[in-house]
Structure 1
């Protein structure tokens, strides 16, 4: 559930329903892939058991690296700033902590920001929390994709982040590829501009399947996803009422992906 809420808020930084939806997508992906681990290891409540120093390290590195990723193309956009601001609100930072987070973001924008050294410190503190390391990387991925595109400069920095956190290249590339496919399908589904071949590949990824899946696997995955994203069910799990439209849009895109695949197979 944390993934869905955080993801939706990241998407909200775009100030558009497609962005809202894409954020929810990455949150759903986190819940599906790592949510169980995150919950078992204490979720964000575990921070109450950590020292103030550890909490400060988490905040500083999160926003500093966000700033570093945002500046990788030479210019920090308004969308990057909005995204960071929304995340501060979600974390419930005090006024002083927000100022510290803003300062960290500015530090990260500097050309001489010691990325590797900072991440080494971060990993030394949260080495036992693989869920937080993965979420940290996803936060940075969402920063890079805030404009729905990933530049070579952004990808290079994300690869450095993944390596510093001990996330292997294969896992990193899988995270990027799946996120990109889901974001691309969401964008094309709303705009109606995409080549059929690419949309079909992305549609399979939205359902978590390969093009070699059987009809039985296709129907099973579709029904499971539709059940998981029923607005009433999400509401009962704690999704804020203001995100219900996003949940409805999610089911519409799942249905669109399914129908595209069925049409192609007919």
Structure 2
């Protein structure tokens, strides 16, 4: 639509009536060829939205959806409150940012919290940055698993979040499986050797491949995940600076899983 409107205006200004028709034709071609790409970048709003605004939207939605998940079972548990508080401390938020995060968390707990509307706005800002959308969903998965149990209400909300962000069901299930494997993998690493076979199985799940995958498939999966979670890449895509440590931890887990598999294969 914008192609036809602008084409007509410019054509009219340059060549009057003949220019109007020429501009409409050129604009129609633009809308058909590039209109979708233009809209996916937020249209003209995309030009006016700076990185700091996008980062603020990420921060707000992160804690609001965390609050919504925490309240999904009817009562916000102490574990959810502690997790949100610890997460704020880990991110090194300023006093003002903490107040904003707490207000967002409270908003998310409200019964009339417009989850889908909030996610639609969030996706409109980050729709061309799929890795940031995946990072957002990973944070929400960690919120749901804070008590090491995923209730049906929590899973329902996570499914809604994934769908609203354009993440298909297969990919979502893989993310859930990967998160569970990462949690076990980290726990076994900190508590000693544990079950070597279980840890190796989790390492494969973290990379999203099977034990009979080839070396080529192993390296491809590793490089893909490392690129997806690379802090510098996510930073350039609009991830708030305080979330860089989260991205770094993800890359460390991926690297540790890859190295364990390589060591086992010899």
TM-score past 0.5 threshold: yes
What per-residue deviation string (whole Å, max 9, x for no partner) do you get for residues 22-71 of structure 1? xxxxxxxxxxxxxxxxxxxxxxxxxx94254x443222211100111122
Mind listing any 5+ residue stretches in structure 1 that lack a counterpart?
1-47, 229-238
Q: How does 1:40-59 map to 2 (within 5 A)?
A: 49-50=50-51, 52=53, 54-59=54-59
TM-score, normalised with respect to structure 2: 0.56
**Distance apart, 1:195 and its partner CA:** 8.9
| Aligned-partner Cα distance in 1 for 2:256–2:91 | 30
1:81 aligns with: 81
Mind listing any 5+ residue stretches in structure 2 that lack a counterpart?
1-48, 227-243
| Aligned-partner Cα distance in 2 for 1:112–1:98 | 23
| Aligned-partner Cα distance in 2 for 1:170–1:64 | 25
Q: How does 1:113-262 map to 2 (within 5 A)?
A: 113-187=113-187, 201-206=201-206, 209-213=209-213
Q: Could you say if the C-alpha distance between residues 255 and 166 of structure 1 is closer, same or farther in structure 2, counting changes exceeding 3 Å?
A: closer
1:62 aligns with: 62
| Aligned-partner Cα distance in 2 for 1:110–1:190 | 37
Note if contact 1:186-1:253 (Cα within 8 Å) is conserved in structure 2. no
**Distance apart, 1:113 and its partner CA:** 1.4
| Aligned-partner Cα distance in 1 for 2:101–2:201 | 39
**Distance apart, 1:128 and its partner CA:** 2.3
Q: How does 1:27-46 map to 2 (within 5 A)?
A: none
Q: Could you say if the C-alpha distance between residues 211 and 58 of structure 1 is closer, same or farther in structure 2, counting changes exceeding 3 Å?
A: closer
| Aligned-partner Cα distance in 2 for 1:153–1:197 | 33
| Aligned-partner Cα distance in 2 for 1:170–1:132 | 18
Q: Could you say if the C-alpha distance between residues 77 and 254 of structure 1 is closer, same or farther in structure 2, counting changes exceeding 3 Å?
A: farther
TM-score, normalised with respect to structure 1: 0.56
Note if contact 2:204-2:257 (Cα within 8 Å) is conserved in structure 1. no
Note if contact 2:64-2:104 (Cα within 8 Å) is conserved in structure 1. yes
Note if contact 2:207-2:257 (Cα within 8 Å) is conserved in structure 1. no
| Aligned-partner Cα distance in 1 for 2:155–2:100 | 27
Q: Which has the larger radius of gyration?
A: 2
What per-residue deviation string (whole Å, max 9, x for no partner) do you get for residues 78-111 of structure 1? 3322322233334443322211210110111122
| Aligned-partner Cα distance in 1 for 2:102–2:201 | 39
| Aligned-partner Cα distance in 2 for 1:139–1:116 | 17
Q: Could you say if the C-alpha distance between residues 100 and 162 of structure 1 is closer, same or farther in structure 2, counting changes exceeding 3 Å?
A: same
Q: Could you say if the C-alpha distance between residues 79 and 255 of structure 1 is closer, same or farther in structure 2, counting changes exceeding 3 Å?
A: farther
Q: Could you say if the C-alpha distance between residues 175 and 51 of structure 1 is closer, same or farther in structure 2, counting changes exceeding 3 Å?
A: same
**Distance apart, 1:161 and its partner CA:** 0.4
Q: How many residues align?
A: 196
**Distance apart, 1:183 and its partner CA:** 1.8
